[in-house]
Amino acid sequence: MKWLREKVQELDEQALVWGTTAESEKESDKNGRETSYTVSAKPSVWYSLYQAERAHLVAVCSAALKAGVEERKVRLAESQGDLVVAVIRRILDGLYAALLAAGLTADQLADAWQTAVADVVPRELRAIANGA
């Protein structure tokens, strides 16, 4: 990158956009061989390479940023999932403690809880799977 930039900076303004685009030799009746040049407006090969390198750098940086953003989104989603699990656990623990405090025995509560879990959990998971 630095080397290409230095090569471009070494060019004078005219050489940056004008240059020999083709060179050919042909035979001449008088002098034997003659060289002719075709000159046209075309960026220097060094400048073209420098532009291509810059475009490649932008593409690589963009891909790296995108990869970092996508990774961060995954970590954020995982963190939110952990938070939801923790909240659900606290809610269920609180409900269990409230029912115990209301006078149900531990055995009665355990039986009712297992019955409710067997009914509620599959129903709610099916609802999520069906998009409800």
Interior angle at CA 89, CA 85 and CA 90, nearest 5: 120
pTM beyond 0.85: the answer is no
Quote the CA–CA distance of 49 and 29 in Å, as a whole number. Answer: 40
pLDDT, averaged per 10 consecutive residues of the chain (132 residues), comes to 83 76 64 66 82 92 85 89 84 78 81 81 78 64
Token match 């003659």: residue? 34
Q: Are 43 and 8 in contact (CB under 8 A)?
A: no
Residue-level pLDDT at 70: 84
What CA–CA distance (Å, rounded) separates 114 from 77?
A: 30
